[in-house]
Structure 1
Amino acid sequence: MPFDRINGIVLHHRVDGPEGAPALVLINSLGTDYRIWDAVVPHLADRYRVIRYDKRGHGLSEVPPAPYRMDDHSADLLALLDHHGVERAFVVGLSIGGQIALGLAARNDRRLAGLVMMDTAHKIGDEAGWNGRIAAIEKDGIAAIAEQILTRWFTPAFRSPDNAAFTGYSSMLVNTPAEGYLGSCAALRDADHTETARNLKVPTLCMVGDQDGSTPPDLVRSCADLIDGARFEIVAGAGHLPCIERPEVTARLVGAFADEVFAAGGAK
């Protein structure tokens, strides 16, 4: 369970896969920690050095005072790559993770070998929506709005009270440090990577669950349309977190695209 001070804060992170293999970084969504990738990693760690971490304010990582900027998150990612001696990485960014990856591209796109934008976009939500969410959590905590968030995250079939996994991931959400959640809400509110997406020259796959209520397919498709040469895939039977509801499909799409990118020289 590695903890290291990275970019001035303690980050909880983990590496799976062979030393010296190409690096593949998985960045989790708002209100989750790196365990959401548990069922995906075994399909990738046979040939990739898979790096996961709890972003600032989430999971077991340190919780700096809110608000955060997206640039803070992107600087953490860059410092994590440096910490692990990774010159170029294939990055998979889920939800806010995609915004973090675009922030890295804006800083230095040479550090990106390839990119998967999963259930995310160049701009997510608007100021009024994020301010409303922040106010509700400041007043009554994350639990007060958890049901609406979970409805957007998961398909009706997954949201069964008999599904132990749904109960577990609900607990993950409500147990996220409120300060960290609020800090990242502010980062999402203020971030707009439209121009970064337009200028991106990195091989990119945009993918989305067909029942995503947080970043619906049309929004993700609009992001793909901005990025030169980007591919677009819809994952059937998944909401906002395909890595949980459809881990094998997610791993297959990510792995096949990463294989193609590295075979074409993305590791150079």
Structure 2
Amino acid sequence: MQIADLDDIKIHYREDGDPNGAPVVFANSLGTDLRLWDKVIARLPQNLRLIRYDKRGHGLSDCTPAPYSMGTLVRDVERLLDHLQVKDCVFVGLSIGGMIAQGLAVKRLDLVRAVVLSNTAAKIGQPQMWADRIDAIANGGIEALEGPILDRWFAKPFRETAEFSAWRNMLVRQPVQGYVGCCAAISGTDFYTPTSGLRLPLLGIAGSEDGSTPPDLVRETVDLVPGSKFQLIRKAGHLPCVERPDEYAAILTDFLKEVGHV
């Protein structure tokens, strides 16, 4: 296990591929850990330096008391990339990971040369919705909302597979403090203005069955950046990298080639 000691927090990360290759960094969604990317990593060119990590309060990273701010989550990965001596990466963020990607790109263009915003938006939901979710989980644990969450994550056919149970287990075993801490970070974030100022290669990816960040919401954010591209993955929910890894990896590989990263 690889742990970056960032003084006030220890962040779990993993590297695959070529340590001397062009870096691609992955940030996962709320309620998942870095295993979210297992299927995609295996399908990407292995001459890349493929880096993924567990954000604060998730997976094997430290879980500090809630609430968190988006600035804190952005600063965590900023310090991780400085620790790993990463420059000019392509940053792939899904859901809250895509919000972290937007914040990092605005703050540190020396770290990020291109961005993939997957199943995310500049603003997700309304503060009252997140307050209600935080209250429900504080009182009943993540299990209190697992049904609606999992319905948004996956299209119906995937929910009938044996693998689905593993994703359910991953969700409910995340620390409650980490989950609600990140809910608070999402609730307080509106990146419409800063993201509209970005000028770098950007790809948006959406799932046709995504109940958390529907395709129109993803596209609205992607269209804020001139010259950006958008891809829709059909028959997939909020986590298309899990349901449609071949298509997801192909779309990502094509984008990496287009921006000269492969």
Compared CA separation, residues 257 and 95, structure 1 to 2 (3 A): same
Q: In structure 2, which of residues 169, 191, 194 is the aligned counterpart of residue 193 of structure 1?
A: 191
Superposition map of 1:1-268 within 5 A: 1-6=1-6, 8-160=8-160, 163-262=161-260
Moved more, 25-34 or 108-117: 108-117
Q: Residue 165 of structure 1: CA displacement? A: 1.0
Q: Residue 236 of structure 1: CA displacement? A: 1.1
TM-score, scaled relative to structure 1: 0.95
Q: Residue 45 of structure 1: CA displacement? A: 4.7
Compared CA separation, residues 73 and 45, structure 1 to 2 (3 A): farther
Compared CA separation, residues 190 and 25, structure 1 to 2 (3 A): same
Alpha-carbon separation, structure 1, partners of 2:183 and 2:232: 26
3-state SS in 1 of match to 2:39: coil
3-state SS in 1 of match to 2:15: strand
Instruction: Summarize deviations over 1:105-140 as a string: whole Å, max 9, x none.
Output: 221223211100000011011101000000100111
Q: Percent identity?
A: 45
Query: Which residues of structure 1 form unaligned runs of 5+?
Result: none
Q: Is the 8 A contact 1:7 1:75 kept in 2?
A: no
Q: Residue 43 of structure 1: CA displacement? A: 1.8
RMSD: 1.2
Structure 1: 4+ residue segments shifted above 2 A: none
TM-score, scaled relative to structure 2: 0.97
Q: Is the 8 A contact 1:28 1:93 kept in 2?
A: yes
Alpha-carbon separation, structure 2, partners of 1:89 and 1:193: 21
Q: Residue 6 of structure 1: CA displacement? A: 2.3
Instruction: Summarize deviations over 1:10-35 as a string: whole Å, max 9, x none.
Output: 11110001121000001100000000
3-state SS in 1 of match to 2:116: strand
